[in-house]
């Protein structure tokens, strides 16, 4: 794989050493094979006040990227095309595209209830990440927005992979991971629902209720709101000991999944 943006921006085997040429490369990559105007690149590189030499300096940065591409055996994929530049990326060369392809395949496998396949495929998608997206470079509006969008996509895929694992009855091995994620993302309700489900299915009802109280407190203190319907239903389910107890939601191996648990898996 030649281009990496799911973590520090890299070009294999040679990444431009300076940060702003890497920012040029990253902007061209996240714009997905479309022409990026010189004006847009200047705004990205100097969001506050472009220098008088911005156009000529941008040209120098583009030359640095072209040199790195040539040394990486990429030929001439970066072309000048009015009003700016276009970077050609072949299939399999960009980690972002592979992440999107694997994510879509994993979602399809979830819809088809092929949970083992989905867990494996979504895990492969997540394995492409090596840190925060587009890190190690200065970010203007385009790159900040892309980094935020990509992180949201990553978390969505992570929740889907955890959901598939819950369907497979892997609640015991998920609790540690989910407890760490709950601390990292105190306001992300689906992750907290999944943590509560995993704890309850593992026979840890008191810990599940404690997790509910923690997310309820965070939502109130940070956003001034209460838990959403899914969390509320799940709390009532745990509190009331619905069904036959924790094992009733353990997935296909251990019997029927309760309605409250099905919504959050």
Q: What is the pLDDT of residue 248?
A: 32
- Alpha carbon distance 260, 236 (integer Å): 9
Q: 78 pairs with which residues across the strands?
A: 87
| Neighbour-count burial of 226, counting CB atoms closer than 10 A to its CB (0-12 exposed, 13-18 middle, 19+ buried) | exposed
In DSSP notation, the chain reads --EE-SSB-EESS---SSHHHHHHHHHHHHTTSS-EEHHHHHHHH-SS---TTHHHHHHHHHHHHHHHHHHTT--S-EEEETTEEEE---TTSBHHHHHHHHHHHHHHHHHTT-HHHHHHHHHHHHTT--SSTTBTS---HHHHHHHHHHHHHHHHHHHHHHHHHHHTT-HHHHHHHHHHHHHH-TT-HHHHHHHHHHHHHTT-HHHHHHHHHHHHHHHHHHHS----HHHHHHHHHHHHT-TTSGGGGS-TTSSPPPHHHHHH-
Q: What is the pLDDT along the chain (265 residues), one digit of tens a residue?
A: 689 999 999 999 989 999 999 999 999 999 988 999 999 999 999 999 999 999 999 999 999 999 999 888 766 789 999 999 999 999 899 999 999 999 999 999 999 999 999 999 999 999 999 999 999 999 999 999 999 999 999 999 999 999 999 999 999 999 999 999 999 999 999 999 999 999 999 999 999 999 999 999 999 999 999 999 999 999 999 998 743 333 333 333 333 334 445 556 7
- Alpha carbon distance 121, 137 (integer Å): 30
The fold of 8-87 is Arc Repressor Mutant, subunit A (1.10.10)
HSE of 177, CA atoms in CB hemisphere, 13 A = 15
Q: What is the pTM of this model?
A: 0.89
The fold of 171-265 is 1.25.40
Q: 81 pairs with which residues across the strands?
A: 84
Q: Are 123 and 157 in contact (CB under 8 A)?
A: no
């Amino acid at each position: 794989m030649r281009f990496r943006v799911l973590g520090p921006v890299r070009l294999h085997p040679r990444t431009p050493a300076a940060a702003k040429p890497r920012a040029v490369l990253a902007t061209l990559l996240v714009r997905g094979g479309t022409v990026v105007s010189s004006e847009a690149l200047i705004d990205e590189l100097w969001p506050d006040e472009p220098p008088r030499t911005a156009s000529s300096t941008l040209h120098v940065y583009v030359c640095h990227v072209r040199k790195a591409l040539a040394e990486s055996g990429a030929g001439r994929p970066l072309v000048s095309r009015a009003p700016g530049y276009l970077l050609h990326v072949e299939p399999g060369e960009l980690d972002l595209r592979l992440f999107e392809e694997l994510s879509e395949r994993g979602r399809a496998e979830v819809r088809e209830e092929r949970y083992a396949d989905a867990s494996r495929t979504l895990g492969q998608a997540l394995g492409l990440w090596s840190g925060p997206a587009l890190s190690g470079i200065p970010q203007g509006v385009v790159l900040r927005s892309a980094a935020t969008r990509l992180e949201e996509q990553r978390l969505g895929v992570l929740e889907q992979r955890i959901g598939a694992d819950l369907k497979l009855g892997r609640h015991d091995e998920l609790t540690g991971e989910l407890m760490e994620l709950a601390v990292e993302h105190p306001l992300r309700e689906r992750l907290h629902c999944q943590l509560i489900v995993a704890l309850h299915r593992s026979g840890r009802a008191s810990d599940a209720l404690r997790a509910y109280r923690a997310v309820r407190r965070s939502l109130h203190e940070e956003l001034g709101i209460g838990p959403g319907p899914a969390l509320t239903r799940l709390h009532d389910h745990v509190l009331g000991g619905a069904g036959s107890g924790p094992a009733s939601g353990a997935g296909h191996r251990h019997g029927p999944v309760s309605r409250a648990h099905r919504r959050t898996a």
